[in-house]
Structure 1
């Protein structure tokens, strides 16, 4: 699923590792799309279903000026060798929206709004998730 992406997208980042707190592995990619979010979600819903992934949940973008506790996006799950794997399609810029009450906030710290990510995590003890 990390290789799947809509036509016209450009790979901007490729990463993998192990979560230092909970010890679960992760791998992901970020893309610059030429599509809106609905088209991205439709693409991955179709690709995920073809690969045996099941829809799990959807987190909506945070309201401006609110505390962000989890990233928005869509989550799918799949059993792989007795372990639940999680596939997340998400938008990095939603994790750090500009607070309109703080105009002095540095825009350099904000993720580009035109990127989306695809990430897979899994853990035998259930600590991984979307």
Structure 2
């Protein structure tokens, strides 16, 4: 083997190794913090009935959203809802709908006035369902928000980094 063909062979192996490493880096999410699997998971979460089936007395206050958190690498999907009742009515409605769809309270003894979190296993993953109220986000009187306006959000990750 000539000196020239050895250099060419080494260069070919270097290019192949770089391509394999670069491809693995992109598909595992090294650039974005999310894997392609988690990006697809976000689309699956957006289809969950808890976000799409209307609960009694609830209206959709916004479009559904989904994506993948680039910093922490978890999939998410959510939707804002309106409800004419009190915060306690909303909590009771969400607890009932969650229980009917196999969700379990993450902390069964948590105070009802705080955001609530539920979990469920799906295809071997722990999926988190959180309930939060818009008026909690509008602290300081930035905007007037009806007491029953709330968001349901799902989070999950293939690497276990998701939470409520």
Per the normalisation by structure 1, the TM-score is: 0.74
2:59 — aligned with what? 10
Larger Rg: 2
CA RMSD of aligned residues (A): 2.0
Structure 1 or 2: larger helix share?
2
> Could you tell me how far 1:8 is from its partner in structure 2?
2.8
Which secondary structure state, in structure 2, belongs to the residue aligned with residue 85 of structure 1? strand
In structure 2, the partner of 1:112 is 145
Q: Distance in 2 between matches of 1:127 and 1:113?
A: 33
Q: 1:59: Cα distance to partner?
A: 6.3
Is the Cα contact below 8 Å between 2:130 and 2:153 reproduced in 1?
yes
Structure 2 equivalent of residue 88 of structure 1 = 130
Change (3 A) 1:111 1:87: farther
5+ long unaligned stretches in structure 2: 1-49
On the 8 A contact 1:121/1:129 being kept in 2, the answer is yes
Contiguous gaps of at least 5 residues in structure 1: 62-71, 99-106
Instruction: Give the stretch that moved more between structures: 80-89 or 120-129.
Output: 120-129
TM-score by length of 2: 0.60
The structural deviation recorded for 1:117 is: 0.6
Question: 1 CA distance for matches of 2:57 and 2:92?
Answer: 15
The number of aligned residues is 111
Question: Secondary structure of the equivalent of 1:121?
Answer: strand
Which residue is equivalent to 1:34? 84
**Per-residue Cα deviation, 1:67-123 (whole angstroms, up to 9, x for no partner):** xxxxx411000011111000111113213411xxxxxxxx5x447243101111101
Which of the residues 94, 98, 103 maps onto 1:44?
A: 94
Q: Which has the higher strand share?
A: 1
Looking at both structures, which has the greater relative contact order when contacts are Cα pairs under 8 Å and sequence separation is at least 6? 1
Question: 8 Å contact 1:91–1:116 — kept in the other structure?
Answer: yes
Q: Aligned ranges for residues 61-72 of structure 1 at < 5 Å?
A: 72=114
